[in-house]
Chain A
């Protein structure tokens, strides 16, 4: 159960980040040519793979309790801000993430920026590198922290890898931003999972013995999910009342 939740969480988190990276790469690739955009994306993937290769085995040598406390705290803080943003978006207090609008802006910027050379278009390379690296870095962070806390780097990486393959393949086939992916809903679920796992591992690292052992994670997920949905409903109601006045 624990392992399945872990794989689902890394898969969803990686999918939303991949959709965002894909939007940027498609915008520069379709507007200015594929060579430099793909080289930039490939270079970012190589750097990210190197980060995982260095960090992954290194965290495996750290004792589990202090590692879970440190990584759990980090994951909890990271998850809290992710969940807060998702609740504010779902409640209508923050604009929803719109891949179509982001794509249009990126295309406009790519068109208005002059090409810098004949052989290599450094604008495309840099934009694609930055997009893939920054979005991918969040995936690496989640995979390494999840993998380290559960001592299951393999399943965590498998979830992320599956997302990269699926989203990448769909993007290559469609050659358009994946605006139909329910990205905001996925982000909401990922926020719940990050916060729940951060709570579970952080408390365990601090010395807590959970009633029911590992199955307590299900209770934590349920509590965080229900309270988040409740907050979304409160936000929507308050905003509706305020607009009705």
Chain B
């Protein structure tokens, strides 16, 4: 039962979050900040798109650096 639950949770994690959990965490934090700002009268419509671009760029460049380190070059 415990094993089944674990594999069920693992499936959902892998399905939604995937290889880089930091992107998912950033998305949640940015949406929370946007929600908080909107409920205090600030319309930060530009925040989520810019954060998305920065998050993807960060994750891709991190993957590039990791691949470079695995190959032994800098």
Contact = CB atoms under 8 A, between A and B. Distances in A.
A40 to B, nearest CB: 19
Contacts of A203: 31, 34, 45, 47-49
A138 to B, nearest CB: 8
Given A69-B35, A84-B56, A235-B64, A77 B49 contact: no
B38 interface: yes
Contacts, number: 116
B23 A199 contact: no
B52 A85 contact: no
Interface residues of A, number: 45
Contact of B43 (A77, A209, A238): A209
Contacts of B67: 93
Given A80-B56, A84-B23, A199-B52, A208 B17 contact: no
Contact of A83 (B28, B48, B56, B68): B56
A83 B52 CA distance: 11
Interface stretch (A159-167, A178-186, A223-231): A223-231
Nearest to A245: B73
B9 interface: no
A131 interface: no
B35 A80 contact: no
A87 B60 contact: yes
Given A85-B18, A202-B48, A208-B38, A77 B24 contact: yes
Chain B interface helix/strand/loop/mixed: helix
B53 to A, nearest CB: 4
Interface in A25-39: none
Contact of B45 (A93, A138, A209, A223): A209
Given A83-B56, A227-B56, 15 more contacts: A73-B28, A81-B20, A91-B64, A195-B56, A202-B31, A203-B45, A203-B48, A206-B34, A206-B35, A206-B48, A207-B43, A223-B49, A231-B56, A231-B57, A235-B64
**Nearest 8 pairs of A and B residues by beta carbon:** A207-B38, A81-B18, A206-B35, A203-B48, A206-B34, A77-B24, A227-B53, A80-B23
Interface of B: 15-20, 23-24, 27-28, 31-32, 34-35, 38-39, 43-45, 47-49, 52-53, 55-57, 59-61, 63-64, 67-68, 71, 73
